[in-house]
Structure 1
Amino acid sequence: MEGSKVKMEQAHVVMFPFILQGHIKVLLSLGELLSEAGLYVTFVNTHQNHKRLANLQALTTHFPNLHFESISDGLPDDHPRTLFQDFFEGMKTKTKPNFKELIVSLNKKSENGLCPPVTCIIGDGVMSFPIEVADDLGIPIFSFYGTSARFLWAFFNIPKLVEEGQIPFFDDNMNYRIHGIPGLEGLLRRKDLPEFCALKEIDHNMINFFVEETLAITKTSGLIFNTFDELEIDSVQNVATKCSKLYTVAPINALLQSQIGPRAQSIASLGSLWDVEQNCIKWLDSQPSKSVVYVSFGSITKSSISQLKEFWHGLVDSGHPFLWVIRPGAILDEEVIPKELEKGQKERGYVVDWAPQEEVMAHKALGGFLNQSGWNSILESIVAGVPMICWPYSGDHFINCQCVTKVWKIGLELGDWDRLTIKTTIKELMGSRREEFQESVDKAAQWAKNCISKGGSSSLNLEKLIKDIKGIKEIKV
């Protein structure tokens, strides 16, 4: 924020993601796109995540219009921040005033010519308190929603399902089909809804809290959506009926690459909460084309030692080389990787704490991706044309898995985590049904390419978003 280079006529966007890696990564990519378009962007994290982010200075070198700030989330320093209920419940009382204070301070700095005044806020759609702050300060706000359109559409219909008596569930049949939601007939099961829908008391505070948090995005100036029209057009159109404006801009990482070219590869791992292990790329270089199974269960999934051992046996027994991400904190029982896994690494695989995922996905050696059905991972698989095996864990993972296996038919669901099932599923994906899945995912990859190309839906929506933000600036002036 050095004053000599600040252009006071720039539109100034303040962005605030939820605390998880996947939320930070994709919203940061959007921030990079906006800054590349000439907007002044302030990207806000909690103090804890700000300290963990890698090479922010390198990012600001690539994007001079991109600036970073941090605020306290109000939790003690020694809080594990894995109990999301604590974080969600504390946001309105602890995080909200700190965020508001930051916005006020940025506008004070603008009076001294150190930055442009704040034009608008882009807040993560899972949190409503940025909307309340924007309303208090009279600043327009857009919501960014990082999951699939189908999941959000299902979420919007929770009050309807409550009214019809489909929620709460009074038995334990989680495969029972949900009916009456346009566009999701025959697809949605109880297990595909958010976990809190399984609570037996419908007036439970947690149900009301999360429904209100999500419905708040309908009160914003627009919804920026991490999906693309060709992939989910019916659900996108349904969601659009609830929002004043809707901008589908995914796959955002691919859109960024299309906008900035070769620079994208050098910044792909910047802004990661974990140190990236680059040596795995050299290992991939030594493997045959489309032979490797990449295994990564994201930033929040936790596994027991017994589960890890079963995965190890299944991976080794499949006969395919594998690259496996086991991040710090991923093991429930202990932090030490069992000796069996170390042995497996020497025999056929490569185990890392964290991998440069976009680079891995684009590698010619990759033949399949075993993941937790996180939306970012699915989009990255589609862009790279890599079929996948889904092992859903929580949140939107279950409905994402349904889309992968039933709608787009670009992968398989892992029905159980015993070694025989894992081995059999990998051999099916990589062997007997390889051509079938490859043909389907290549088609989806072409959809993604079309939408980020000049004149494509995501490219045009990004242009529209930038124009609308600059229009707010012009109105204010």
Structure 2
Amino acid sequence: MWAYLCIPKLLENGELPFGEGVDLDELVKGVPGMESFLRRRDLPEFFRVAKDADDSELKFMANVSAYSGKARVFILNTTEVLESTAVHHIRTLIPVTYAVGPLHAILDLYRSARGSTDTSSHSSSLWQEDTECLNWLDLQTDKSVVYVTFGSFTMLTREELHEFYSGLVNSGHKILWVLRPDMVQSRGWTDEIKKSLPKEQEKIISWAPQQKVLAHQAVGCFLTHSGWNSTLESIVAGVPMLCWPFFLDQQINSRFFSEIWRIGLDMKDIRNREVVEKMVREMMDGESAVRLRKSARDLADDVKESIADGGSSFREFHRLIEDKKSMSIGQ
């Protein structure tokens, strides 16, 4: 969110648009607090193709950013444990900013505190969850499965899917793969992949009960599109991530995994089976896997502490409730 609020400044100082044929690894200097790690490559892809400041999509985003910067209140599904610098800078623009996340974990906390036996999913997706995959996970050894999903909206070409397919199979690891029927641009290709994968190595489903999957001891890493909901769910579960962002905030999120939180690897702009295989092996085997899993567990502990009694998100959530009550009384 903070990088988006800085779009007018990036336009003003000439950092946007940067167009095609430039060094995508050059650092972006116009987002305070991110000057040391945010690259052109980590900004949404439409910044690469906009030819000038009059580009319609760029102007739209600039207008949205300018309008958002005039808000009286911001409620963010994040925690200062993850984004303290960004939250600090946002508060310089919008002083009344509540960092109250991860909201799904707060909901679970309140369910538990009230003794609720409701274990139903609170996914925002309309896809039907396949809970049978949990039985399949029960049959696998600890940390042996790569969980793969690219979210609700990501669309892959036939070639991209085939590269991921080949890299995953060649890694030799078990795969729980969410393949939506509408995920591939070439009709019927999803069915071809389902027929091709070795049955002893994979489990293919249309949609997963993601929070329960990520919490399962058999899952060793998460190959993800880096959407914010998936990001928070994986962080709370303590599962390291291999990131292939698709659009918008996912590009920045994946940079945080590898460079700030140190709980994953960033694979943006790569569509190559050899790299997929190499990175899956790095996530699942040897010293890198041990390091990433420890970092993921440590971050999960910190985030859970933030939503516990006295933690930053706990305090912010109750401040939001009390402030809203005060507003209602005064009306």
> TM-score range, shorter-chain basis?
over 0.9
Partner of 2:326: 471
Secondary structure of 2:156's aligned partner: coil
Cα separation, partners in 2 of 1:364 and 1:207, compared to 1, 3 Å: same
User: Counterpart amino acid of 1:332?
Assistant: Q
- Check if 1:439 corresponds to 2:289: no
Q: CA deviation at 1:219?
A: 3.3
Partner of 1:254: 105
Q: CA deviation at 1:217?
A: 2.9
Aligned counterpart in structure 1 of residue 312 of structure 2, from 457, 460, 465:
457
Whole-angstrom distance in 2 between the partners of 1:313 and 1:178: 35
Aligned counterpart in structure 2 of residue 213 of structure 1, from 64, 70, 84:
64
Partner of 1:417: 271
Partner of 1:407: 260
Q: Deviations over 1:364-395 (max 9, x none)?
A: 11110000111111111111111110011110
Whole-angstrom distance in 2 between the partners of 1:324 and 1:209: 35
Q: CA deviation at 1:340?
A: 4.3
Contact 2:73–2:97 (8 Å) recurs in 1: yes
Q: CA deviation at 1:307?
A: 2.0
Partner of 2:28: 178
Aligned counterpart in structure 2 of residue 426 of structure 1, from 265, 272, 280:
280
Whole-angstrom distance in 2 between the partners of 1:242 and 1:269: 32
Runs (4 or more) in structure 1 with deviation over 6 Å come to: none
Whole-angstrom distance in 2 between the partners of 1:256 and 1:383: 13
Contact 1:220–1:244 (8 Å) recurs in 2: no
Partner of 1:169: 18
Partner of 1:366: 219
Whole-angstrom distance in 1 between the partners of 2:124 and 2:6: 35
Contact 1:293–1:366 (8 Å) recurs in 2: yes
TM-score by length of 1: 0.65
User: Counterpart amino acid of 1:443?
Assistant: D
Q: CA deviation at 1:170?
A: 4.5
- Check if 1:154 corresponds to 2:3: yes
Contact 1:293–1:320 (8 Å) recurs in 2: yes
Whole-angstrom distance in 2 between the partners of 1:454 and 1:405: 30
Whole-angstrom distance in 2 between the partners of 1:438 and 1:166: 36
Contact 1:303–1:330 (8 Å) recurs in 2: yes
Q: CA deviation at 1:187?
A: 1.3
- Check if 1:375 corresponds to 2:224: no
Cα separation, partners in 2 of 1:373 and 1:332, compared to 1, 3 Å: same
Whole-angstrom distance in 2 between the partners of 1:340 and 1:302: 15
Secondary structure of 1:346's aligned partner: coil
User: Counterpart amino acid of 1:361?
Assistant: L
Q: CA deviation at 1:298?
A: 0.7
Q: CA deviation at 1:352?
A: 0.6
| Residues 279-318 of structure 1 mapped to structure 2, 5 A cutoff | 279-318=132-171
Contact 2:174–2:202 (8 Å) recurs in 1: yes
- Check if 1:243 corresponds to 2:94: yes
Q: Deviations over 1:321-374 (max 9, x none)?
A: 110001131111114424343231513110111100001011111110000111
Contact 1:383–1:449 (8 Å) recurs in 2: yes
| Residues 33-182 of structure 1 mapped to structure 2, 5 A cutoff | 152-173=1-22, 174-182=24-32
Secondary structure of 1:294's aligned partner: strand
CA radius of gyration, larger in:
1
Whole-angstrom distance in 2 between the partners of 1:301 and 1:344: 21
Q: Which has the higher contact order (CA 8 A, sep 6+)?
A: 2
Whole-angstrom distance in 1 between the partners of 2:123 and 2:265: 31
Contact 2:5–2:69 (8 Å) recurs in 1: no
Cα separation, partners in 2 of 1:290 and 1:163, compared to 1, 3 Å: same
Q: Which runs of 5+ in 2 are unaligned?
A: none
Whole-angstrom distance in 1 between the partners of 2:55 and 2:163: 37
User: Counterpart amino acid of 2:6?
Assistant: N
Contact 2:72–2:96 (8 Å) recurs in 1: yes
Contact 1:345–1:351 (8 Å) recurs in 2: no
Whole-angstrom distance in 2 between the partners of 1:363 and 1:278: 12
Give the fraction of aligned pairs with identical amino acids, expressed as a percent.
38
| Residues 320-399 of structure 1 mapped to structure 2, 5 A cutoff | 320-344=173-197, 346-399=199-252
Contact 1:222–1:246 (8 Å) recurs in 2: yes
Contact 1:249–1:459 (8 Å) recurs in 2: yes
Contact 2:146–2:222 (8 Å) recurs in 1: yes
Contact 2:7–2:61 (8 Å) recurs in 1: no
Contact 2:240–2:293 (8 Å) recurs in 1: yes
Whole-angstrom distance in 2 between the partners of 1:264 and 1:215: 44
Q: Name which of structure 1's ranges 259-268 and 417-426 shifts more when overlaid on structure 2.
A: 259-268
Whole-angstrom distance in 1 between the partners of 2:12 and 2:66: 16
Q: Name which of structure 1's ranges 223-232 and 171-180 shifts more when overlaid on structure 2.
A: 171-180
Secondary structure of 2:146's aligned partner: strand
Contact 1:269–1:276 (8 Å) recurs in 2: no
Q: How many aligned positions are there?
A: 325
Secondary structure of 2:31's aligned partner: coil
Partner of 1:127: none
Contact 2:143–2:219 (8 Å) recurs in 1: yes
User: Counterpart amino acid of 1:296?
Assistant: T
Whole-angstrom distance in 2 between the partners of 1:184 and 1:270: 31
Q: CA deviation at 1:203?
A: 2.2
Q: Deviations over 1:179-216 (max 9, x none)?
A: 24321112111232233433112023332222222332
Cα separation, partners in 2 of 1:186 and 1:193, compared to 1, 3 Å: same
Whole-angstrom distance in 2 between the partners of 1:424 and 1:393: 20
